[in-house]
Amino acid sequence: MDVAAATRPLDRLADFPAIPAGWAYLDSAATAQKPRSVIDAITRGYAETYATVHRGVYQRSADMTLAFEASRRRVAAFIGAASADEIVFVRGATEGINLVAQSWGRANLLPGDRILLSTLEHHSNIVPWQMTGAPIDVVPLTADHRIDLDAMAAMIRPEHKLVALGHVSNVLGSVLDAKRAAQIAHGVGARLLLDGCQAVPRMAVDVRDLDCDFYVFSGHKLYGPTGIGVLWARPEILDSMPPWQGGGAMIDTVTFEKTTYAPPPARFEAGTPHVVGVIGLHAAIDYVESVGLDSIAAHEAALVRETRDALAGLNSVRLFGPEDSAGIVSFAIEGVHPHDIGTILDESRVAIRAGHHCAQPLMAALGVDATARASFGVYNGGQDVEALVRGIERVTRIFG
């Protein structure tokens, strides 16, 4: 198999200083490596231009505030938001979902209301909804491991006030037909939240076209820094939501008798923000768009196709997810624990994820305790697929 010849490279490996020659990094679904442009933006932010934002009257603070808000506008344009005021900076998608659950949920979920999730959700899109106390119903998967929207249409009821679904599964790589999901949810008056962590690094996202009500993603999976993420919501929804944390920056006036709150997005950004993280996120979006999301999607689709074709030829390997999964291939080897697969592959300088991937209900539905997962980024090429396949062949030889 000449995967290197069959897979057209993006030739971006040189942009990533933390990936040494001969190391196949196949864990981008957990966190993406950082290009030099993002590292440089973060370094400048701390070493040359650092100051607080929205507080100082001195020039550097004013300049950093302008850069911070320019980043908010950049994020809004990246996901098709109508206004920068629809963008709330959070620590990551986990915090974004918790914010919606604790703010919107506290204000809107009444006794008798229910929440609808799917079998493939990440724990971060399960546990926050459990914490609201609302009963949860679960949409099953199709035979090829996609969210079964026909089943969702049959089971959704007016009691379902919120539907929360993964746009792309972090385990299976299956892509949700988000527009149909929105149509089904809105048909009974429910709001739709999409977890976009695995979508925004590998496909163009337009929240208005998707017709969702909330959208969340994390910067570190988008080749940006850790500790920064985004919650987008429709402006009329944000306007109606109460704050979920109190502190500086989210207030209008404070007395010991009463506090009035700032309008969104400041209402939801209590305390000093992750200033340099926001700057790094801006640089990451610039980088991804310079490569081109269509090019990234095509590149990762080719790598997935070559990987699945190669692994399908090994009798002991079981593949999960649809044939056209987005940048992610999960698999199991008969008689071998995924942790052993990961350890042996590491000896061959191939880095994958092994475990339940923060999706234990999905593992139960698949009938396994864990899987091995290879996930791709712009820095991967056919040589990484070949290294993965050679490593898996070595695993099968070791375990007979």
Q: Which of 358, 363, 365, 368 is catalytic?
A: 358
Is 212 annotated as catalytic? no
In a 10 Å sphere around its CB, with 0-12 CB exposed, 13-18 middle and 19+ buried, how is residue 49 labelled? middle
Q: Which residues are catalytic?
A: 358
